[in-house]
Amino acid sequence: MSKRKKNIKLFEKEIVITALKQSFVKLNPVTMLKNPVMFTVLIGTIIMAVVSFLALSGSGGSLGTPGYDLAITILLFITVLFANFAEAIAEARGKAQAESLRKTREITPAKLIDSNGDITVVNSSSLKKGDVFVAEAGDLIAADGEIIEGLASIDESAITGESAPVIREAETDKSSVIGGTKVLSDKVHVLVTSNPGESFLDKMIALVEGASRQKTPNEIALTILLAGFTIVFLLVTVTLKPFADYAHTVITVAALISLFVCLIPTTIGGLLSAIGIAGMDRALRANIIAKSGKAVETAGDIDVVLLDKTGTITIGNRKATNFYMSNGVDNNVLIRSALLSSISDSTPEGKSIVELAEKNNIKVSESDLKNAKFIKFTAETRMSGVDLPDGTQIRKGSWDAVKKWSVNSNGNVQSLEKVINEISQKGGTPLAVAVNKVVVGAIQLEDIIKPGIKERFERLRKMGVKTVMVTGDNPLTAKFIADAAGVDDFIAEAKPEDKMRYIKEEQKNGKLVAMMGDGTNDAPALAQADVAVAMNTGTQAAKEAANMVDLDSDPTKLLEVIEIGKQLLITRGNITTFSIANDVAKYFAIIPAMFMVAIPGFQTLNIMRLATPESAILSAVIFNAIIIPLLIPLALRGVKYKPLGATAMLRRNLLIYGFGGLITPFIGIKLIDIIVRLFV
């Protein structure tokens, strides 16, 4: 089973061709209007085209020469195309990404169960919400849905890239199935949960394709700011005409329009929607399906993250790590008893006890267990164990229960009590072992903290995100694990209502809370949280309540989501700063060029020593145009996020994009001028 191809090269041939075509399609003025900055450039292009035409019949004055006017017209047109291309390539990449997911949901036959209980084979595309179909070993699941009957092992590699099959079962928290995945064994009845074209995946595909992409709140605010800048510079250029008339200075229309286009923030204006789409695309590449762009953006603002202990902070289940014997009990007796009581215990804890015993070179033979009677764990007894044929009774379980059962032990109890407390304090879970109602010792079960998780939490702390561990453990154990893993806070002995209460409490203080969940009982908390990621394996209720779905069902994915959100804002902010900082150099290129003929003293301001007024203006316009495609890779990949603390990051980004934005165009325009002067 091959892993789904996750990384699409930045400029893949097919994508580029599609994007090139789209750049022209997007010239439609109605589409262009959505981007006020680039729309004004389009208007400028049209005006210049008219001016070039008029200049043909009689050049001179403010009309300029036809050749030069035409050059400016073409350059402005290219600027518009570049901006369209940026958006188109982001969309095309998103589409390609989505396409590889969509391929998994080709039309497949579905065994529909009708109201009479009869099975008819229909096309998967005709399945509607509420229909029930059967899927057996070898079948592809026809549509997203929930198992209402049965259990099956399913290969989800087509969606998640994970090759190990997963178990899906009705009436558990893992009842969800995705269309396009394959049933490997058994047979299930699946209730279809969405109409064709309305599944999460369909929604996500629409989002990255830009069809239903709505601007996020910060994007709207930024668009307003950019529109403001555009209006200011429109005023600056329009009024320059009467100013020059009054001062008897001739300024060509080409120079005015070039000044305008260079001053307005075309760089960020051209890349803005590409950045937004690329953000969604990055989320998709991380196998996260977001229901809206807003959710991804909000993720960047998260203050508090609720994380389940098991699976996120610790590796799945607890493991036995040590045996402690009571006074006067032989070590081997304890281990052997523990082993005998666990050999048929299929829980992960039980298996780990067997492993640990075998590590101590203690084994039991088949004959030992002949006719033995195994006692299962129940909630009432809170013990499990075995009654051997020779009458020996072995029990293991919680200390309270075992202590009560072990009526025959004398001084042993006190000595072990101390050990038990120590284990608890160290974050372990003690299991007591007793033989024939005499306590013989304890087994230490411990949570294993995931490697690398501590560093991740450190990273979150630097971002200013508070991590909260949610666990069913007692407060003592919870505190120990919380400290060891480096989380900031924990909720011990947590019930679903506790999560809800905690989220509400934090939100009351103005914090934004993120959580991940899978069970139906998580749904209210998921709905309450600002960013809620449901695991794909989770129940339908959880997925409905969440605003993102993680196809990998990886509990640490929340951290990635936050970084994607932050990256989205940072990329926008920094390219804006870069774009505006560029204006300084453009002023120094264009203003001297405009007035040099009338007032030769303006040559002093030509600090780049650009060859002629024409070459200066052309160079500025060329720089202004090519900076857009040059920044496409940055816009698509996103500015790298480093958790430095806000002020340090501002300093760093200010240096790179602010100061860099000030310097780069001086160099760029000068270099372009060196080439342009050969032709002018």
Partner 1 sequence: MNNEIIGVIITFLLTVLIAIPLGKYMSKIFKDEKVFTDFFAPIERFIFRISRINPDEPMDWKQNMKAMVLLNLVFFFWALILLLIQQWHFWNPAHIGNMEPTLAFNTAASFVSNTNLQHYSGETGASYFSQLLIMVFLQYVSAATGIAALALLFKGLVQKQTSNLGNFYNLFLKTCTRILLPVSTVIAILLLLNGCPVTFNGPQDVHTLEGKIIKAATGPVAPMIAIKQLGTNGGGFFGANSAHPFESPNYITNMIEVISELIIAIGLVFAFGYYSGKKKLAYTIFGAMAFVFITFVSLNIKWETGGNPVINKLGIYQSNTSNMEGKEVRFGAPASSYFSIVTTSTSCGAVNSAHDSFMPLSGGLIITDMMINAIFGGVGVGFLNFFVFLIIAVFISGLMVGRTPEFLGKKIEAREVKIAILVALLHPLLILAGTGISSFLAAHNPDTGWFTNPGYHGFSEMLYEFSSASANNGSEFAGLSANVPFWNIFDGLIMLFSRFLPIIGPVAIAGFIAQKKYIPESAGTLKTEGMTFGIVLLGVVIIIAALSFFPALALGPIAEHFLL
Query: Which residues does the annotation mark as catalytic?
Result: 308
Contact 241, 251 (CB under 8 A): yes
Alpha helix (H) ranges present in 200-265? 200-209, 217-246, 253-263
**Taking the complex as a whole, how short is the minimal distance between the CB of residue 603 and partner 1, in angstroms?**
9
Nearer to partner 1, 165 or 265 (CB): 265
Nearer to partner 1, 332 or 603 (CB): 603
DSSP string, 11-48: T-HHHHHHHHHHHHHTT-HHHHTTSHHHHHHHHHHHHH
Judged by CB under 8 A, the residue of 49, 151, 225, 449 near partner 1 is 225
Contact 229, 265 (CB under 8 A): yes
Could you give the string, one character per residue 641-670, with x where binding to partner 1 holds by CB under 8 A and - elsewhere?
x---xxx-xxx-xx--xx------------
Rounded to an integer, what distance in angstroms lies between the CA atom of residue 313 and that of residue 487?
9
Query: Does 35 contact partner 1 by CB under 8 A?
Result: no
Nearer to partner 1, 148 or 599 (CB): 599
Judged by CB under 8 A, the residue of 1, 164, 221, 476 near partner 1 is 221
Please enumerate in sequence order all residues whose Cβ is within 8 A of that of 461, keeping only pairs 6 or more positions apart, or say none.
467, 486, 488
Judged by CB under 8 A, the residue of 10, 232, 476, 674 near partner 1 is 232
Nearer to partner 1, 233 or 323 (CB): 233
**Taking the complex as a whole, how short is the minimal distance between the CB of residue 449 and partner 1, in angstroms?**
23
Nearer to partner 1, 182 or 566 (CB): 566
Packing angle, helices 475-485 and 453-463, rounded to 10? 80
Give the interface segment with partner 1, choosing from 479-487, 520-528, 541-549, 571-579 (CB under 8 A). 571-579
Work out whether strand 489-491 and strand 466-470 pair parallel, antiparallel, or are unpaired: parallel
Query: Does 11 contact partner 1 by CB under 8 A?
Result: no
Query: Does 346 contact partner 1 by CB under 8 A?
Result: no
Burial letters 219-240, b for 16+ CB under 10 A, else e:
beebbeebbebbeebeeebeeb
Nearer to partner 1, 204 or 222 (CB): 222
Give the interface segment with partner 1, choosing from 177-185, 296-304, 429-437, 624-632 (CB under 8 A). 296-304
**Taking the complex as a whole, how short is the minimal distance between the CB of residue 172 and partner 1, in angstroms?**
37
Nearer to partner 1, 323 or 641 (CB): 641
Phi, psi of 135, rounded to the nearest 5 degrees: -130, 130
The helices-and-strands tally (H runs, E runs) of the chain is 23, 20
* Locus of tokens 């609720």: 306
Q: What is the 3-state secondary structure (H, E, C) of 254-289?
A: HHHHHHHHHHCCHHHHHHHHHHHHHHHHHHHHCCEE
Query: Does 607 contact partner 1 by CB under 8 A?
Result: no
Give the interface segment with partner 1, choosing from 104-112, 194-202, 595-603, 664-672 (CB under 8 A). 595-603
DSSP conformation class of 656:
I
Judged by CB under 8 A, the residue of 102, 203, 351, 461 near partner 1 is 461
**Taking the complex as a whole, how short is the minimal distance between the CB of residue 285 and partner 1, in angstroms?**
19
Query: Does 584 contact partner 1 by CB under 8 A?
Result: yes
Could you give the string, one character per residue 237-276, with x where binding to partner 1 holds by CB under 8 A and - elsewhere?
xxxxxxxxxxxxx---------x-----------------
CA dihedral 584, 587, 589, 593 (to 10 degrees): -170
Give the interface segment with partner 1, choosing from 68-76, 352-360, 491-499, 562-570 (CB under 8 A). 562-570
Query: Does 218 contact partner 1 by CB under 8 A?
Result: yes
Q: Which of residues 380-409 bind partner 1 (CB under 8 A)?
A: none
Query: Does 412 contact partner 1 by CB under 8 A?
Result: no
Contact 470, 499 (CB under 8 A): yes
DSSP string, 534-571: EETTS-HHHHHH-SEEETT--TTHHHHHHHHHHHHHHH
Specify the amino acid at residue 594. Answer: M
Judged by CB under 8 A, the residue of 36, 67, 150, 573 near partner 1 is 573
* Overall size of the chain counted in residues: 680
Query: Does 581 contact partner 1 by CB under 8 A?
Result: yes
Give the interface segment with partner 1, choosing from 1-9, 36-44, 213-221, 425-433 (CB under 8 A). 213-221
Nearer to partner 1, 248 or 370 (CB): 248
Query: Does 604 contact partner 1 by CB under 8 A?
Result: yes
Q: Which of 281, 296, 287 is nearest to 178 (CA)?
A: 287
Query: Does 222 contact partner 1 by CB under 8 A?
Result: yes
Q: Which of residues 492-551 bind partner 1 (CB under 8 A)?
A: 509-511
Give the interface segment with partner 1, choosing from 181-189, 324-332, 574-582, 628-636 (CB under 8 A). 574-582
Residue 184, token pair as written in the block = 């490997």
DSSP string, 317-369: S-EEEEEEEPTT--HHHHHHHHHHHHTT--SHHHHHHHHHHHHTT----GGGG
Could you give the string, one character per residue 148-167, with x where binding to partner 1 holds by CB under 8 A and - elsewhere?
--------------------
Nearer to partner 1, 109 or 228 (CB): 228
**Taking the complex as a whole, how short is the minimal distance between the CB of residue 512 and partner 1, in angstroms?**
8
By CB under 8 A, the count of residues binding partner 1 is: 78
Nearer to partner 1, 411 or 464 (CB): 464
Q: Which of residues 465-484 bind partner 1 (CB under 8 A)?
A: 465-466
Work out whether strand 304-308 and strand 513-517 pair parallel, antiparallel, or are unpaired: parallel
Residue 265, token pair as written in the block = 């923030």
SS3 376: coil
